[in-house]
Structure 1
Amino acid sequence: MKDGKLYLLAEFSVKPEVLEETKNIFSTLLPIVLKEPGCEAMYTTSIEGAPNKLVFFEIFSSEEAHRFHMAQPYTQKLGADLEGKLLEPMKITKLNSF
């Protein structure tokens, strides 16, 4: 976080039978999140050869902007929306710029 920004990778291993439903949940949420103050980017991707492994690359202008994001009702609701859809708990990796 050398430049004050917060860079994150969020990884979701989704049960294959609910993959499209889960992608739709994220697709609906993405435009809302991108309008948040301090959300500079959010890319939704999957891993080649492992299509049920969804990886988000996120950039927030600060830790405070990320806290704002996490406090939003739609972000809070995401946990309930993903209930029973994941093969394992979500993994968040904090990245450093250089």
Structure 2
Amino acid sequence: MNEGFGLVVRFTLKGETAATAFDALCVATLRGIASLEPGTLIYVSHVPEGEPLVRVFYELYADRAAFKAHEEQPHTQRFLAERGQYLSDVEVTFLNAVAGKATSRP
């Protein structure tokens, strides 16, 4: 499995108010991703069980070029510019596919 380029991002939020605002920013960003990014295959925000102030993003792109295109979008640039006010920490792990199962693309 050599297709795809992914990452996992773990965001730690400053508090409940920050978490609510961060989630709203994510919803607005996801609208742009869903409608404008065919190379973004998966982009999901998760709340880990027992960690209400943490968000974990799983992102999968068709390739590095699709990730680069995602990073250049106005909705992503807005997210990157505004997210810091809500965060106390962020960890990014880049992933290269080795093996796995993927559903067929439409």
Under TM normalisation by the shorter chain, which class is it? Answer: 0.7 to 0.9
Structure 2 residue 34 is matched with structure 1 residue 34: yes
Q: Structure 1 CA distance, aligned partners of 2:91 and 2:26?
A: 16
Q: Where in structure 1 are there 5+ consecutive unaligned residues?
A: none
Matches within 5 A, 1:1-98: 2-16=1-15, 17-35=17-35, 36-88=37-89, 90-97=90-97, 98=99
- The offset of 1:38, in angstroms, is 0.3
Classify the secondary structure of the residue corresponding to 2:53: strand
| 1:70 partner letter | E
Runs ≥4 in structure 1, deviation > 4 angstroms? Answer: none
**CA-to-aligned-CA distance 1:54-88 (integer Å, 9 cap, x gap):** 00111100000000000112211212211321012
**Deviation (angstroms), 1:95:** 2.2
- The amino acid that maps onto 1:71 is E
Secondary structure (helix, strand or coil) at the match of 2:58 reads strand
Select the structure of larger CA radius of gyration: 2
The runs of 5 or more residues in structure 2 that have no matched partner are 100-106
Structure 2 CA distance, aligned partners of 1:50 and 1:75? 25
Q: Name the amino acid aligned to 2:9.
A: A
Q: In structure 2, the residue corresponding to 1:59 is in which secondary structure? A: strand
C-alpha RMSD of the superposition: 1.4
The CA distance in 2 between the partners of 1:81 and 1:18, in whole Å, is 12
Contact 2:21/2:86 (8 A) holds in 1: no
- Matched position secondary structure for 1:82: helix
**What is the TM-score with the length of structure 2 in the denominator?**
0.81
